[in-house]
Structure 1
Amino acid sequence: MWKKKPISGLKAGGRLKIILAIIIFSAIVLFHELGHFLLAKKNGIVVTEFSLGMGPRLVSTVKGGTRYSLKLLPLGGSCAMLGEDMEDDRPGTFNAASVWGRIAVVAAGPVFNFILAFVLSVIMVSLAGYDPAEVLDVKTESSAEKAGLQTGDVITEYEGYTIDLSRDLYLYTYFNPAQEDKTVHMTVDRDGQEINLAFKPDVSVRYLLGFNRSDASSMEVESLIQGMPLEEAGLQAGDVITSINGVKVADGDEYQAYIDEHPLSDEPVQITYERNGLEYDATITPREYRTPDLGFSYNAGYQKTTGMAVLKYSAYEVKYLIRSTIMSLKELITGHLGIKDLSGPVGVVDAIGTTYEQSKKEGTLAVWVNMIYMAIFLSANLGVMNLLPIPALDGGRLIFLVIEAVRKKPVNRQVEGMVHFAGLMLLMLLMVVVMYNDLLKIF
């Protein structure tokens, strides 16, 4: 159980997780803001302050008309430009620059995030390699085998979706599971030859009672699957199943032995369960559960590469992360994912800490590779999120600038300022909700 402790009471491991997260966050934000800074200078815009962090200044210095600051809260940063949010067209102000110059300044932040992600990917691919979508096994007599799929084939396209890495295939099939009656179209590379395949998935049929156990060795019902037989029979979380058709199932091993010897079917079975020290019986009919089966397995490991291939697969790495972010956003918009699935700074710190702890068991190289991967993921993610056409974000500012470029005159500055302010307030509210969800998940 979590207990309140002062920061000074944190274990060394806990402090290290936070330090790692701060370093990774700071590097990503710094590079993002550096993009804005360099392009602002290039276009003759005065940068009044370049800061890392938020809140009160800890230290700062002024050089060349720009104040460089390190602030108290190590999350975020800013590149404040003269006249950025005002109707000010004096020389050196943001609005005095050409519209295309301002577009370059605003777009530079996300672009620099993608550049950072690529540079880090080169390091990671050099150390760990890449994960080709190579077919490792094809089930005998499966539809995939009959269609001509062979072990060693490398999948390059699945349902029109380009596959560069095995994670591309995993990502696509995760959001778009195979359907029983829908033909799957694939393209594979076989010894340099491109081969097109088409087949319908096989179907795995199981009969289920519809419950989840607290662990594999227990027969305690942790949760019930909605609309499945046990829920309809009135069982509740916390009930303990003690026998099936009169055969005792004292633990998970006995339950599995019974299922192996007497596979569930559409025939009714009698379940005995215990609740508050009393035993109850229920006669239920297991429910058929059909699972489409593609009939093959594919590689999930990494293999080394050298030379120009490192650059190619580094680009694929960034491409994959950008696509995964966009696909996740699409699922969020369509309602397949919810606010509870989002993570903010607190959730990311926890993820970095968890990854670090797991990587330690595998050695120093694994720690470096996984920390670099987290930085690549966050940098690419930040780049995509900042390009969303949401007020207050770089993408929202770009929308107004593109409109200005098309109309040959700017949108009313006051209206634009109000829109960005409203967007900022909504983003802050979302941040609070996401942070609250992160804390609930952790504690």
Structure 2
Amino acid sequence: MKILIAVIIFSAIILFHEFGHFLFAKLNGIGVTEFSLGMGPRLFSFQKGETRYSLKLLPIGGSCAMVGEDTDEEDLPGSFNAASVGGRISVVAAGPVFNFILAFVLAVIIVGFVGYDPAEVVEVDSGSPVAEAGLEKGDVITEYNGYHVDLAKDLYVYMYLNDLKEGDTVIMKVKHDGETRTITYTPDVSVRYLLGFNRSDASSMTVESLIDGMPLQEAGLQAGDTITAINGTEIADGEAYDAYLEEHPLSNEPVEITYDRDGLDYTATITPREYRTPQLGFSYNLGYTKTSGLQVLKYGALEIKYMVRTTLLSLKELVTGQLGFQNLSGPVGVVDAIGTTYEQSKSEGALMLWMNMLNMAVLLSANLGVMNLLPLPALDGGRLVFLVIEAIRRKPVNREIEGRIHLAGLMLLMALMVVVMYNDILKIF
């Protein structure tokens, strides 16, 4: 069921994108030879007028094939290149624009049902630097270190991608009783000593993963090992571990760790690593607030703005090396993510299940719109670059050269898709 829903959502988004191209091709008198959903061999098709409508085997794409689209024939009646440059720009841009339209409509439905998430301060630590700087419960954060904040999720994503470092100064703008204030402060630092491992859940002492460069990894522990004692004190489970740390906080003094691996006991003496974390000194809302009327349209638009900004920020992180190719997902990863969201949402009731499905559709549709507008060969954005150049020069770029550039871009894109799909499969299995 979850795979079927994922395929339906993914296919609907692609279909709407291609319909944008199709509609504007027709409006500009350009013939469409085939309008298809999917890739590969045809499963089903029928002819109506000049256009063949097809459903193909692989539900991971679609196409709107136009007359003369990949040739330099301008005198062919109804061909793509015979249309005005403005008309061709509208045809190419229509696909991504329709993705944004679809995302906006779905976002409005979501906001109408569940509301929006204001970045409202819900708690301020007493005596903290931010409290002394004037931040109060109920203030709504509108800017954080120069980054405009419309929604709480804006703030969350920015903080996730931009770690606060010791000594950093935080500058925030907040709304307080309709008045905008500027809050400037330097966060306190929390000092902890860590062993450097993650557990699968709070009740377990089995090592799920090790943190690179931290003491347990350097001592040779591996994922799957189970910590059974610290300094000779038996640690039966996660609760016993937490109780031990409360009574014997870790410091820069060495400790002896006993762990089980494949039924055998081993010991390792390690020195916990100091870990210093700046403390914001406040927490903010991550829940939803109901709204109505024109506010629904406003916050629906802000949801799309958030999706677009997040996509662009992620691309920036990818280009600068902060994110790697392993963080990318293709059709296989997208279907898996939708399926996982579906399974996790079933227990929350029918309304939240479908709101989460719609939210995935909003994210994917806005993401597809942004990605297709990137000025790269073979993408809509790359084609728009050549059309804008043609509009400025008042004559087209050599069609043969343009075709070769798009073909090279398509080959690179297909190679990237293979790599991403391989990573998706590895992550799933």
* Pair in the same fold by TM > 0.5: yes
Where in structure 2 are the equivalents of 1:6-25 lying within 5 Å? 16-25=1-10
Task: Return the offset for 1:282.
Answer: 3.6
Which residue of the other structure, out of 87, 91, 116, is the alignment partner of 2:72?
A: 87
2:310 match: 324
C-alpha spacing 1:71/1:241, structure 2 compared with 1 (3 Å): closer
Where in structure 2 are the equivalents of 1:403-418 lying within 5 Å? 403-418=389-404
Hey, what's the Cα distance between the residues in 1 that align with 2:171 and 2:71? Answer: 54
2:24 equivalent to 1:36: no
Task: Return the offset for 1:372.
Answer: 1.1
Hey, what's the Cα distance between the residues in 1 that align with 2:58 and 2:234? Answer: 59
In the alignment, is the contact (CA less than 8 A) between 1:178 and 1:201 conserved in 2? no
In the alignment, is the contact (CA less than 8 A) between 1:243 and 1:273 conserved in 2? yes
Hey, what's the Cα distance between the residues in 2 that align with 1:134 and 1:155? Answer: 6
Hey, what's the Cα distance between the residues in 1 that align with 2:353 and 2:225? Answer: 42
C-alpha spacing 1:138/1:54, structure 2 compared with 1 (3 Å): same
2:249 match: 263
C-alpha spacing 1:277/1:372, structure 2 compared with 1 (3 Å): closer
Hey, what's the Cα distance between the residues in 1 that align with 2:122 and 2:334? Answer: 33
Which residue of the other structure, out of 36, 43, 61, is the alignment partner of 1:76?
A: 61
For residues 302-350 of structure 1, what are the alpha-carbon distances to aligned partners after superposition, in whole Å with 9 as ceiling and x for unaligned?
Answer: 1110000000000000100111111111111111111111111111111
Aligned residues: 428
In the alignment, is the contact (CA less than 8 A) between 1:179 and 1:201 conserved in 2? no
In structure 2, the residue corresponding to 1:361 is in which secondary structure? helix
1:4 match: none
Hey, what's the Cα distance between the residues in 2 that align with 1:225 and 1:372? Answer: 35
1:3 match: none
What TM-score results when the alignment is normalised by the length of structure 1?
A: 0.92
In the alignment, is the contact (CA less than 8 A) between 2:10 and 2:335 conserved in 1? no
What TM-score results when the alignment is normalised by the length of structure 2?
A: 0.95
Which residue of the other structure, out of 47, 52, 60, is the alignment partner of 2:32?
A: 47
Gaps of 5+ in 2: none
Hey, what's the Cα distance between the residues in 1 that align with 2:338 and 2:208? Answer: 29
Hey, what's the Cα distance between the residues in 1 that align with 2:366 and 2:264? Answer: 56
Give the RMSD, CA atoms, in angstroms: 1.8
1:231 match: 217
1:12 match: none
Deviates most, 87-96 or 317-326: 87-96
Hey, what's the Cα distance between the residues in 2 that align with 1:68 and 1:225? Answer: 53
Task: Return the offset for 1:373.
Answer: 0.9
For residues 157-216 of structure 1, what are the alpha-carbon distances to aligned partners after superposition, in whole Å with 9 as ceiling and x for unaligned?
Answer: 111111111100001000012222111111111121111111112211101122233543
Hey, what's the Cα distance between the residues in 2 that align with 1:72 and 1:237? Answer: 41
Letter in 1 for 2:74: D
In the alignment, is the contact (CA less than 8 A) between 2:171 and 2:183 conserved in 1? yes
2:326 equivalent to 1:340: yes
Task: Return the offset for 1:61.
Answer: 3.0
C-alpha spacing 1:212/1:19, structure 2 compared with 1 (3 Å): closer
Deviates most, 276-285 or 126-135: 276-285
Hey, what's the Cα distance between the residues in 1 that align with 2:191 and 2:171? Answer: 23
In structure 2, the residue corresponding to 1:305 is in which secondary structure? coil
Hey, what's the Cα distance between the residues in 2 that align with 1:133 and 1:98? Answer: 47
In structure 2, the residue corresponding to 1:300 is in which secondary structure? coil
For residues 267-326 of structure 1, what are the alpha-carbon distances to aligned partners after superposition, in whole Å with 9 as ceiling and x for unaligned?
Answer: 222333445655544433221100111111111111110000000000000100111111
In structure 1, the residue corresponding to 2:316 is in which secondary structure? helix
Letter in 2 for 1:20: I
In structure 1, the residue corresponding to 2:63 is in which secondary structure? strand
Hey, what's the Cα distance between the residues in 2 that align with 1:103 and 1:275? Answer: 63
1:254 match: 240
Hey, what's the Cα distance between the residues in 2 that align with 1:100 and 1:362? Answer: 48
In the alignment, is the contact (CA less than 8 A) between 2:125 and 2:282 conserved in 1? yes
Which residue of the other structure, out of 347, 353, 359, is the alignment partner of 1:373?
A: 359
Task: Return the offset for 1:425.
Answer: 1.4
Which residue of the other structure, out of 291, 297, 300, is the alignment partner of 2:283?
A: 297
2:369 equivalent to 1:387: no
In structure 2, the residue corresponding to 1:197 is in which secondary structure? strand
Letter in 2 for 1:85: D
Hey, what's the Cα distance between the residues in 1 that align with 2:198 and 2:367? Answer: 34
Task: Return the offset for 1:100.
Answer: 1.9
Task: Return the offset for 1:245.
Answer: 2.5
Hey, what's the Cα distance between the residues in 2 that align with 1:378 and 1:213? Answer: 32
Hey, what's the Cα distance between the residues in 1 that align with 2:40 and 2:259? Answer: 58
2:52 match: 67
Hey, what's the Cα distance between the residues in 1 that align with 2:394 and 2:131? Answer: 60
2:228 match: 242
Hey, what's the Cα distance between the residues in 1 that align with 2:173 and 2:389? Answer: 41
For residues 380-434 of structure 1, what are the alpha-carbon distances to aligned partners after superposition, in whole Å with 9 as ceiling and x for unaligned?
Answer: 0110111111211101111111222222221111111111111111111111221
In the alignment, is the contact (CA less than 8 A) between 1:178 and 1:292 conserved in 2? yes
1:436 match: 422
In structure 1, the residue corresponding to 2:111 is in which secondary structure? helix
